Structure 1
Amino acid sequence: MFLFNVRVYGILTTADNEVLISDEQTQRVSFTKFPGGGLEYGEGLIEALKREFLEECQLEIDVLQHIYTTDFYEKSSFNESQILSIYYQVKALSPITFDIKKSPFDFSKEKQQEKMEVFRFVPVQELTEADLTFKTDKVAWKNFLEHIKI
Structure 2
Amino acid sequence: MKLRETKDGSHTLHNPEMDVFYHSVHGAWAETQHVFGAMGLDEACARQPEGPIHILEVGLGTGLNVLDAWVRARAANRQVVVRSLEPKPLSWADVEPLGHAALTEVPEEVLKNILAGRHIDGHMDFSRIDAGVMDAALEEGWADVVYFDAFAPAAQPELWTVPVMDRMRWALKPGGQLVTYCAKGDVRRTMEEAGFQVDRIPGPPGKREMLRATKVARPQGRFNVRAYMVVVQEGRVLVSYERLPMGGVMKFPGGGVEWGEGPVAAIRREALEELGQPVTVDALLHVSRKAHISSFDENHQVLAIHHLAHLDGPVRFEDDGMLEDVFGKGVPMMDQKLGWRDVDTLKPNDFHFASDREAWEAWQKGQAKG
Q: What TM-score do the two structures reach when normalised by structure 1? A: 0.90
1:56 aligns with 2:274: yes
Which of 335, 338, 356 is 1:119 aligned to? 338
Instruction: Specify which of 232, 247, 251 is matched with residue 29 of structure 1.
Output: 247
Cα separation, 2, equivalents of 1:107 and 1:32: 9
Relative distance call for 1:24 and 1:96 in structure 2 (3 A) is same
More strand by share: 1
2:332 is the alignment partner of 1:95? no
Structure 1 distance, partners of 2:240, 2:363, is 17
Which of residues 348, 358, 361 in structure 2 aligns to 1:139? 358
Structure 2 residue 233 is matched with structure 1 residue 7: no
Q: How far did residue 26 of structure 1 move?
A: 2.1
Give the structure 2 partner of residue 128 of structure 1.
347
Q: Which residue of 2 aligns with 1:40?
A: 258
Q: RCO higher in 1 or 2 (8 Å CA, sep ≥ 6)?
A: 1
- Which structure 1 segments of 5+ residues have no match? none
Aligned residues: 147
* Shift in CA distance, 65/148, structure 1 to aligned 2, threshold 3 Å: farther
Aligned counterpart, 1:82 = 301
Cα distance, 1:103 vs. partner?
2.9
Greater CA radius of gyration, 1 or 2?
2
**Cα-to-partner distance string for 1:78-125 (whole Å, 9 max, x where unaligned):** 1120000000010111321111125323259xx953310101101110
SS at match of 2:335: strand
Q: Name whichever of 93-102 and 119-128 sits farther off.
A: 93-102
Q: Please report the RMSD computed on the Cα atoms of aligned residues, expressed in angstroms.
A: 1.9
For the 8 Å contact 1:24–1:105, the answer to whether it is kept is no
Deviations 1:49-86 (A, max 9, x none): 00001100012111110010002111000112000000
Amino acid at match of 2:265: E
For structure 2, the 5+ residue unaligned runs are 1-219
What CA distance in whole angstroms lies between the structure 1 residues aligned with 2:272 and 2:321? Answer: 22
Other-structure match for 2:157: none
SS in 2 for 1:126: coil
Contact 2:322-2:338 at 8 Å conserved across structures: no
Identity over the aligned pairs, expressed in percent?
29
Q: CA, structure 1 residues 106+112, in 2 after alignment: closer, same or farther (shift >3 Å)?
A: closer
Distance in 2, Cα, partners of 1:61 & 1:44: 15
- For 1:112 and 1:39, how far apart are their aligned partners in 2? 27
Q: Distance in 1 between matches of 2:265 and 2:242?
A: 23
SS in 2 for 1:13: strand
